[in-house]
Amino acid sequence: MTASDRAASPRPLPKPGILDIAAYVGGKSKVEGIAHPVKLSSNENVLGCSDKAKAAYRDAVDRLHIYPDGKSNALRAAVADRYGLEPERLTFGDGSDEIFALLCQVYLEPGDNIVQGEHGFAAYAIGARACQAEVRFAKEPKRRIDVEETIKCVDERTRLVFVANPANPTGTWLTGEEIRELHAALPPSVILVLDGAYAEFATDPRFEDGLALARETQNVIVTRTFSKIHGLAALRVGWGYADFGIIDPIERIRPPFNTSIPGQDAAIAALADREFEAASVALVEQWRPWLAQQLGGLGLTVTPSAANFVLVDFPTTPGKTALDAEAFLASKGYLVRAVANYGLPESIRITIGREEHNRAVVDLLAQFLAR
């Protein structure tokens, strides 16, 4: 469609490519006939959030009539202090999703491209296509980002390479050595985006969060979110850390009041509650291997995960498929996530729940497979 076609149209038309984008679909939160299902479909923190964060949220009620600090200065200082970062090299977003979109707006022109894994998070591709850029999907042998396959996709029009570590929806991860190998193979003009939404749950000593790499280089940005480990998904607060040369252009187009007063205050309080954070990690560390072992005992294949969820493969036999399993669990009040839209039609993703949730899921899937 040309500009003349749009100008001659009897109604406003979006720019080319927008209507070809598949809108993001989140995990299910409701099921007909069940008032309060157990939601294990969106990788939320099943412990909720810190009591300190709740108190900070409540205390913000008398300031709802004023604009928030557009630079998130108090939160900026808290994040910088917690992780030993330079405050001026931070940016804050309406969740880390907004930072991905801003990166695309800053760096992508029509004809440019991004590279992501073939099972990568949908938000990366949505942001790129909205800028009329191409999305290249690197093959993921064993459902892991592969350095060689990723580099094969990079050319002179590549501007961003997105790597979630650990990855969603697979839960797989790269070692610090592998991340540095990938970075070293990229042209200096290409930004490596390290999405650390689930970084706190990756406790293997070979895992690195990428912050040191971002400090030492000019083409790496690390993003984090308060939605997962801190349980503040409803408040939408994320942050990114990079060289000032990356942060400055993002700040120039970032919406001026994109994080709220309650969100900023709750995030500051959540950062200070190390006890809640430790409890959240401990729950996942205890039940993630148990759930994988139990599901494996049912004859199902579980992808090794470093996140707060597991990815489970089901047979292709009619009545035993991943979609059948998702529907069966929903009928019993347990919501999980089928991930065919991520190129994994035989899999469902299950958030690690409390003990009673995990045991119930295993028992229900045993019933499902025995039908």
CATH number for the domain formed by residue range(s) 51-272: 3.40.640.10
Residue 155 near residue 113, CB atoms below 8 Å: yes
Whole-number pLDDT of residue 67: 97
Q: Which residue has the higher pLDDT, 32 or 203?
A: 203
Question: Which residues, other chains included, contact 310 with Cβ-Cβ below 8 Å and sequence gap of 6+?
Answer: 171, 288, 291, 292, 295, 302, 303, 349, 350, 352
Q: How does pLDDT run across 283-315, given as a tens digit for each residue? A: 999 999 999 999 999 999 999 999 999 999 999
Q: Please tell me the distance from the alpha carbon of residue 15 to that of residue 6, in angstroms, as a whole number.
A: 8
Residue 321 near residue 349, CB atoms below 8 Å: no
Q: Which of 153, 40, 168, 203 is nearest to 97 (CA)?
A: 168
Q: What is the pTM of this model?
A: 0.93
Q: Please tell me the distance from the alpha carbon of residue 20 to that of residue 219, in angstroms, as a whole number.
A: 30
Q: Which of 284, 298, 297, 273 is nearest to 350 (CA)?
A: 284
Q: Please tell me the distance from the alpha carbon of residue 168 to that of residue 97, in angstroms, as a whole number.
A: 13
Write down the residue that tokens 């808290």 correspond to.
78
Residue 22: band (very low, low, confident or very high) from pLDDT cuts 50, 70, 90? confident
Whole-number pLDDT of residue 152: 97
Query: Counting every residue, how long is the chain?
Result: 371
Residue 1: band (very low, low, confident or very high) from pLDDT cuts 50, 70, 90? low
Q: How does pLDDT run across 347-366, given as a tens digit for each residue? A: 999 999 999 999 999 999 99
> Residue 193: in which H helix or E strand, if any?
strand 191-195
In the chain, domain spans: 3-48+275-370, 51-272
Residue 248 near residue 211, CB atoms below 8 Å: no
Residue 260: band (very low, low, confident or very high) from pLDDT cuts 50, 70, 90? very high
Residue 11: phi and psi, rounded to 5, are -145, 160
Distances (CA, A) of 76 to 54, 70, 239, 252: 20, 11, 9, 17
What average pLDDT score do residues 322-341 get?
96
Q: Please tell me the distance from the alpha carbon of residue 229 to that of residue 173, in angstroms, as a whole number.
A: 17
Fold observed for domain 3-48+275-370: Aspartate Aminotransferase, domain 1 (3.90.1150)
Instruction: Read off the tokens for 19.
Output: 């209507």
Helix (H, G, I), strand (E, B), or coil: what is residue 348?
strand
Instruction: Read off the tokens for 364.
Output: 């229900």
